Structure 1
Amino acid sequence: MTAARLLTRALTMILGSLLFSVGLEIFLVPNNIIDGGITGISIILSHLTGISIGIFLLLLNLPFLFLGYKQIGKTFALSTLFSVIVMSIGTELLHPVKPLTDNLLLATVFGGVCLGVGVGLVIRAGGSLDGTEIVAILVGKRLPFSVGEIVMFINIFILGSAAFVFSPDSAMYSLIAYFIAFKMIDVTIEGIDQSKSVWIISDSYREIGDALTYRLGRGVTYLSGEGGFSGDDKKVIFIVITRLEEAKMKSIVEDKDPNAFVAIGNIHDIMGGRFKKKNIH
């Protein structure tokens, strides 16, 4: 990895970790709203003991960082450790700062946004801000549940605890903040202009392919397939589009063949090839 790429990754992790700290100390914590995972546990323990949140964030994440180093990799573990340290320092520095609002709804929304964007930036840079994800990855190998389901179960338990430590209202606002943060992580990682892969099976494949190329300015690839029931040779059109082009793509296909089979999937990353849009004259 070049020095420039390493510096870019470090700056991205610093920015993400500090945004996360802002979400906690400027919006959520002063209003008794918590997040899921290690962060939520740290907020609860800090409230009960009076010890700084930053200390709990660092200490509670360390065991999971060790597991991550052993099971996932050195680069991931070191990136996560760096991000967690910056986040812990950020919460310490921001703790004396007066919160921007005492309106619970505003604090929930803006706190959730800061948390989600912060986590998303750190993940894009190759790290993490919460050891819960590491636990979920390791436990998921031994249980018939996905990583997402395990994380959700853990976080529901943690967020529900806010009802007993703070109040039922705090628990409900915490769930809203968690949902907002969850969605913002997706937006930050995938981008607003998310890419989608499309597979189209139709006897009018040539007409559809030409129309997609001409009207969307996207290149198409024709793949050879075979019908599972009929045994007939089939042509499959493969194309990568943006989310904003999805409606137009469907209109083009329906216009050429209303009975065409269309499958659409989300793409998290694209490397190589020629994805840039061609100019349409």
Structure 2
Amino acid sequence: MFNKKTIIEYLLTAVGTSIAASGIFYFLAPESIAIGGVTGFSLVMTSYLPLPLSTVTFISNVILLILGFVFCGREFGGKTIFAVINLSLIMYIMENLFPIYGPITDETLLNLIIGVILFAAGLAIVFNQNASTGGTDILAKIFNKYFNLNFGTALLVADAIVVFMAIFTFGIKEGILGILGWFLKGLLINYFIDGFTIKKEVVIISNKSNEVKDFIFNNINRGVTVYKAEGGYTHESKDIIVTVLSKNQYFKLKKDLKTIDPSVFVLIRNVHEVFGNGFEHF
């Protein structure tokens, strides 16, 4: 039986694939811009096959999933299969209920940017649920296993193949736009994923360390670690308080910290992943 957490993950996966599908169908496909991935491959193949984009995407993903099971084993969870089906289903609904007969805007570069932003944001939501949309991720796993390529390089190779197919099919202009979109997609996916997971490590040196600790315990509901130190110039004993907070908790602490101790010294670092009590499990 699905628990609440699992249901939310599947709902967010559905939201993510819907956002990604809208970027492809309404902005990238009308301009014949393939930015890699199985959707880019499917966009190329629709030029040769009398099939809609949703059908080619679904067939391509099914083939790749089968290859993944054959060559890599059972590394593809239920959420990935759900994402693959949902991506194709959403595009099928768009094709039949909300069709489009030309680019959304007259500016090709604007369509590229909006399409890539939507696509990258959708994929980031899906990846954050421990799922993927299949596609070239599976090819990358196969390249990684059998050709000793690291996963990032393997994914780059798989997407590059699609982009060069697009150059051959659609022409040099669309191909160059595809390369630009492919590059932006990688940057934006990392940016959006960091936005979901990033935390703040806060290092505090204060003459009122007990009041600061009490505020973090009682008002923010977070733990702290305290290091004993000595001021290099004054030789006074100091408490160094270290805590890790979400962005909202950090803003709350920042707002009130100056009131607690006007002479406080604070160092803030971005932390990309946190595992342990109160955060993600390993």
Change beyond 3 A, Cα 1:48–1:192: same
1:97 equivalent to 2:92? Answer no
How is 1:12-27 mapped onto 2 (pairs within 5 angstroms)?
12-27=12-27
Alignment partner, residue 168 of structure 1 = 172
8 Å contact from structure 1 (residues 197, 267) kept in 2: no
8 Å contact from structure 1 (residues 66, 77) kept in 2: no
Change beyond 3 A, Cα 1:117–1:72: farther
Alignment partner, residue 44 of structure 1 = 44
Give the match's secondary structure for 2:33. coil
- The CA deviation at 1:94 is 1.8
Change beyond 3 A, Cα 1:156–1:68: closer
Distance in structure 2 (CA, Å) of the matches to 1:220 and 1:3: 31
Give the match's secondary structure for 2:134. coil
Give the match's secondary structure for 1:57. helix
Alignment partner, residue 272 of structure 1 = 277
Match of 1:190 among 187, 194, 218: 194
How is 1:126-165 mapped onto 2 (pairs within 5 angstroms)?
126-165=130-169
Q: In structure 1, what residue type is equivalent to 2:205?
A: D
- The CA deviation at 1:29 is 0.6
Q: In structure 2, what residue type is equivalent to 1:52?
A: P
- The CA deviation at 1:271 is 4.4
**Residues 198-226 of structure 1, C-alpha deviations (whole Å, 9 max, x = no match):** 9xxxxxxxxx8635x86xx7976479xxx
8 Å contact from structure 2 (residues 139, 158) kept in 1: no
Distance in structure 1 (CA, Å) of the matches to 2:9 and 2:178: 30
**Residues 47-81 of structure 1, C-alpha deviations (whole Å, 9 max, x = no match):** 2223111112111112332354574647x432112
**Residues 131-165 of structure 1, C-alpha deviations (whole Å, 9 max, x = no match):** 31123224323434310111112212321222221
Give the match's secondary structure for 1:272. coil
Q: In structure 2, what residue type is equivalent to 1:126?
A: N
Alignment partner, residue 124 of structure 1 = 128
Change beyond 3 A, Cα 1:269–1:52: farther
Farther off after superposition, 87-96 or 9-18 = 87-96
8 Å contact from structure 1 (residues 23, 112) kept in 2: yes
> What is the TM-score when the length of structure 2 is the normalising length?
0.70
CA RMSD of aligned residues (A): 3.9
Q: In structure 2, what residue type is equivalent to 1:268?
A: E
How is 1:3-82 mapped onto 2 (pairs within 5 angstroms)?
3-69=3-69, 71=72, 73=74, 76-82=76-82
Percent identical across equivalent pairs? 24
